[in-house]
Structure 1
């Protein structure tokens, strides 16, 4: 019995160390003044593995998104969240339709949950990617 407890504790400690540790860089903020009400983004980084964890929270009954690399939508990289999942997009110039990236930089399947009318999506991706 004691050997089982020791083994379980050792396995728990190993798994805790194996899980990526993300340092918070941006916490629960709309980032851009005038952004969509109720949409927040949090960003964490795992410097050792050069990974970023992006958490988007928004309404569960409509699509929402967040763009990076600019103050306007044109020429931005971003994520669109809707009832079917998450897609990475490159926003073109002017009023063009954003194109979904042919190769995603998202690692694994984004975690998604809905609580109290809010959809939360957790995305992990490398610091840099070819299409981003």
Structure 2
């Protein structure tokens, strides 16, 4: 699996089972750890996990989103990807992400941040966020 990733640094681990949409859009720096049951829901965006960072069990990272629309057939829009918005997710150096965390598109987690279990991240955060 590591050979399919966009980049995999020294001593990186993605422990199975996991679900990865587009492995070539995942970039892991040195000494990163992704615990089992993690999900990477990726279509066009990329995921960057910087060195010394750990993601706990059952984390989900989503790089896609949709523009809200009213009065249009959602099934057609979804199939044609008309309203898709893909943005990168960047998790900074030396971060710890707790179990069952969901990180949405466009989020940048600052260096040294700690994210508590069952959190939802939908905005960027400064370094050393606890």
Fold-level similarity (TM above 0.5): no
Give the alignment's TM-score, normalised by structure 1: 0.29
Tell me which protein shows more strand as a share of its residues. 1
* Structure number with larger C-alpha Rg: 1
Give the alignment's TM-score, normalised by structure 2: 0.29
